[in-house]
Chain A
């Protein structure tokens, strides 16, 4: 068995090495695939905070992914059409600045997570899953009917957004940005799960009553974790939209929420690098098996089934021989 910190290190090195190799071999598509994996991993790191530490099975995390995507799409759309964003009482210009877009995506997703969390965390278990799913569907159908921003057809952005000092159209540079944000999110997750807040959140996952009896409010703990989780997933959505230069209602779809859960489970729920490994496996299967057969989801389902039945710690659990994370 391998120590978890070695597995984590190897995963990070692999994630850097692959696009660097692709750059030297002029395999641009591989860089794009790795970027996609890094973005999905970032979204799943967000989910992992809610699911892995807080025990909240959110089937609506695509809401935050979609909000991040649409934050990018709308701001960039107004920048490229030189039309202001009209809020009635005031108007704001669009922007193509990535940091500004990330900030807006974070704030919008965090606010949505706060509202959704306030309502959803009144429930638990299957009801929580259903409420978060319902929110996802609400946003999905709203986006479909939002004609001003493409409705069902989505919204194309013609130029990639900018970051000071970088040429974001260069795939390796855009990957570097995504990788840096992923590392920041991983660092946040690592610090968070060892902080008194993370410990209390983990305790709240185990027993609401015991946490209350030591003076902690489990709902508040979970709400804060849900907001942090949503904000991280929102930033991932903005990056994803920038990668594709396109946003559409599918970013809000329940299938995407399901995929985020699946890749987190495959990598290892609650494990630091679980979402990264899960995203890498997911993208590999999607690309490799998807090229062989249209039914690649069947194989993905088989892997998921095997992990749930036999390796409950996910791939990291399998490699390290430890079923659960130590938080």
Chain B
């Protein structure tokens, strides 16, 4: 049984339609790469999945229709989002960011600290005084503290130094290996996505134009839809 099922999803910002026919599905423990060029609807798709914007079509998490639920209830069902742009709670400390989001489950301060050790080394530092990479790790840690069944990472390595990017990719790989958590990753690095993802979905102008196993993604397809 799929953990997440999205079929014929459509969504608009006012009069401007951003999604037309998005389809994707994900089984527990799988990693899905959501790809597409800029402005093709990747972030809008995850915002619609998280019910941060309204959408139509089929949207189910573990067989449960999400359309009638407000976004906080969707998150409580086990959907953790690391939003684009490393959005931490800026005037809270590292520890407070994590505590504010904590829900019962396996992921505790200690376990998040094992994934990103520096988080517990500087628990009293304010989030707005952290570097970009540290803020990103904190945002991931905060999403994990909600004990999600499905973690969505929207451009988690965007604008970060190569070493920090590597650290974040290692953490995602470790999550896949050790937690059994399903993950949707949005990123521009095809190389990194290829190394970690089981499946891929490509969006073009708000539509799913390709989906399949990551290993089946041919250079022709990636050139046609991703420009690489």
| A and B associate | yes
Q: Are A199 and B96 in contact (CB under 8 A)?
A: yes
- A324 CB-CB contact with B under 8 Å: yes
Which residues does chain A contribute within 8 Å of B143, judged by CB atoms? Answer: 213-214
Chain B 144-164 residues near chain A, CB threshold 8 A: 145-146
Which residues does chain A contribute within 8 Å of B72, judged by CB atoms? Answer: 211-213, 215-218
**Majority secondary structure of chain B interface residues (helix, strand, loop or mixed):** mixed
- B176 CB-CB contact with A under 8 Å: no
The size bracket of the interface on B is 20 to 34
Q: Are A196 and B71 in contact (CB under 8 A)?
A: no
- A287 CB-CB contact with B under 8 Å: no
Q: Are A215 and B76 in contact (CB under 8 A)?
A: yes
By beta carbon, the residue of chain A nearest B95 is: A199
- B70 CB-CB contact with A under 8 Å: yes
**Cα A200 to Cα B100 with chains together (Å):** 5
Which residues does chain B contribute within 8 Å of A202, judged by CB atoms? Answer: 89, 91-92, 100
Q: Are B99 and A213 in contact (CB under 8 A)?
A: no
- B90 CB-CB contact with A under 8 Å: yes
Q: Are A196 and B52 in contact (CB under 8 A)?
A: no
**Cα A202 to Cα B97 with chains together (Å):** 10
Which residues does chain B contribute within 8 Å of A191, judged by CB atoms? Answer: none
The size bracket of the interface on A is 20 to 34
- B109 CB-CB contact with A under 8 Å: no
Given A199-B96, A214-B146; A206-B126 close (CB under 8 Å): no
- B101 CB-CB contact with A under 8 Å: yes
- B41 CB-CB contact with A under 8 Å: no
Which residues does chain A contribute within 8 Å of B103, judged by CB atoms? Answer: 215
Q: Are B52 and A209 in contact (CB under 8 A)?
A: yes
Instruction: Give the distance to chain A from B191, nearest Cβ to Cβ, in Å.
Output: 28
- B31 CB-CB contact with A under 8 Å: no
Chain A 201-254 residues near chain B, CB threshold 8 A: 202-203, 206-207, 209-218
Chain A 290-327 residues near chain B, CB threshold 8 A: 324, 326-327
Which residues does chain B contribute within 8 Å of A199, judged by CB atoms? Answer: 89, 92, 96, 99-100
Instruction: Give the distance to chain B from A33, nearest Cβ to Cβ, in Å.
Output: 36
Q: Are A327 and B146 in contact (CB under 8 A)?
A: no
Q: Are A213 and B71 in contact (CB under 8 A)?
A: yes
**Cα A206 to Cα B50 with chains together (Å):** 19
**Cα A256 to Cα B102 with chains together (Å):** 39
Instruction: Give the distance to chain A from B221, nearest Cβ to Cβ, in Å.
Output: 32
Chain A 178-205 residues near chain B, CB threshold 8 A: 196, 199-200, 202-203
**Which residues of A does B touch, CB under 8 Å?**
196, 199-200, 202-203, 206-207, 209-218, 324, 326-327
Listed by A's residue number, 7 A-B pairs whose Cβ atoms lie within 8 Å are A196-B99, A209-B71, A212-B72, A213-B52, A213-B71, A214-B80, A215-B103
Contacts A215-B146, A216-B101 given; 12 further ones with Cβ under 8 A?
Answer: A199-B89, A199-B96, A202-B91, A209-B83, A210-B89, A212-B71, A213-B143, A214-B75, A214-B80, A214-B146, A215-B75, A327-B91
